[in-house]
Structures are given as structure tokens and as C-alpha cells.
Amino acid sequence: GTLDALLPGIKQIADPDQRDKAYQGEAELTYDTDRKVGCRWKVPSADATDRLSVDLERVVSYDNTVSDDDQARQLFEQKETAADLPVPSGTPSANTQSDSADASPSGSPSGSPSPTGSPSGSPSAPTASNSPSGAMAPELQPRTLSGLGDEAYLDDKLGSSGGAAAQRTVTVVFRTSNVVVTIQYEEQPMAAGAAPDSKEMQDRAQNLAAKLDDALGS
């Protein structure tokens, strides 16, 4: 199921007992399991080593003037600020498009070659997410997410390879009521110079987040 997609190496483990142990992962050490629980997995495969961590924290406010939900919102905002997500570029581009639309009568002849540019550019988009240089398609940039909990964001970072395989880390954090969930998914390819596919990793992490969100009853 979900773990098989995130950790493909599990299915490659021949010994049933070792495979079961790999599925179980390793519990995160905590002094208060009523408030915080977590689990970690590290599974190598023929192509890469995958690491996954899932942490759930039930936030409790000890200030009578601050609700549990508000306290959790503050924790989420701290995490989002620390992630330093890029500012969405949609608004400026929209203004640019409206300006060009106003100028369309005089600009339409010169703009006609642009359709020929789009086919040549479109094949490069999928490879951008897989490029060791760190280039990323706009829709895969770190961003806030809608439809997941009360608020959510996704971060995606590609480590410097230095000639070796580059490690990619995808993080999804969301808040549902007073529960903050953090998913961190890492992949390190075996082949030198390779880089994990950004879209594939983001899809897997978001799929897990959606299942956890459903389980929390949001």
C-alpha cells in the first residue's frame, strides 16, 4: 500500500520477519505519548535508500486565554516561517498578462511566434524536476497546500551532490484542529550524479498526508 510506494525496498526484502520489521519502523522516543508520537523508517533498495519520518503532536495550551487550536496554529506558523517558502509569483505574472492583453492589438503580430516556443519548452518540464542542478518546475516549488487539514505546506529541497547522488527531502506539514503532523521523506539514489524525481516524491508524501488527515477525522 502506501508504505510500499514510499519505501519500495521493503518488497525487495526476502526474509518475511525482516520485511515485517521494516514495515513496523522504529518508534520515536518521547516522554509523553499522549501528546506526541512518531515513527521512522530507513529502507535501502536496489536503486536508492529511502527514509521516512512521521510525527503527530497534539498541542495543548496552558494559557486560559489561548485555545489549543490557536496554540497549534502558532506552532504551525513557526514551522512554516522556518521553511522559508518562496513568495508565490502568480500575482505579478497576472498583472503582466493583463498589461499584455491591453497591448494585444499592436502586439499580436509580434507575439505570433510564441506558440512555436511552447512545444520545444514542454518536454523539458518533466526533466527539470529530476535535474541534479536543482531546477524545479513552477508547480513543484515549495508552497502552501489547499484541501489538507486546516492549513498545510510542502517543502522540497535537493542537497548538493558534489559528484555523488543528490539527496532530495520532501516535507509536508499540516494542522488539523490542535494536531500538527510533520512528514519528512528523503531519497538518496545509488547512482552517482542521479537526483530523485521531485513530482514522484511529492505525490507520495501528499498521498500519505491525505490518509493521515482522513484518519484524524477532518
Instruction: Classify residue 94: in a domain, yes or no.
Output: no
pLDDT for 29 equals 83
Instruction: Classify residue 182: in a domain, yes or no.
Output: yes
pLDDT for 12 equals 94
Quickly tell me which residue has 526533466 as its cell.
127
* Number of structural domains in the chain: 1
Ranges 4-13, 55-64, 83-92, 146-155: which has the least confidence = 83-92
Instruction: Classify residue 95: in a domain, yes or no.
Output: no
Hey, what's the torsion of the CAs at 51, 84, 198, 190, to 10 degrees?
-40
Residue 196: burial class (beta carbons within 10 Å; 0-12, 13-18, 19+):
buried
The residues, any chain, with a CB within 8 Å of residue 89's CB and separated by 6 or more, are 138
pLDDT for 166 equals 85
Other beta carbons within 10 Å of 139: 10
Ranges 9-13, 31-35, 46-50, 166-170: which has the least confidence = 31-35
CA distance 20 to 16: 6
Range ranked top by mean pLDDT from 96-105, 110-119, 125-134, 186-195: 186-195
CA distance 45 to 104: 54
pLDDT of 102 above 80: no
The average confidence (pLDDT) of the chain is 82
pLDDT in tens, 45-58: 999 999 999 999 99
Q: How confident is the model at residue 207 (pLDDT cuts 50, 70, 90)?
A: very high
CA distance 88 to 153: 13
Greater confidence (161 vs 144) lies with: 144
pLDDT of 157 above 80: yes
Instruction: Classify residue 99: in a domain, yes or no.
Output: no
Instruction: Classify residue 156: in a domain, yes or no.
Output: yes
pLDDT of 184 above 70: yes
**Residue 2 grid coordinates:** 502506501
Beta bridge pairs of residue 43 = 50
Instruction: Classify residue 198: in a domain, yes or no.
Output: yes
pLDDT in tens, 82-96: 999 988 765 444 444
Quickly tell me which residue has 551532490 as its cell.
161
CA distance 68 to 153: 20
Domain range for 149 is 2-86+128-215
Q: How confident is the model at residue 124 (pLDDT cuts 50, 70, 90)?
A: very low
Instruction: Classify residue 93: in a domain, yes or no.
Output: no
Instruction: Classify residue 98: in a domain, yes or no.
Output: no
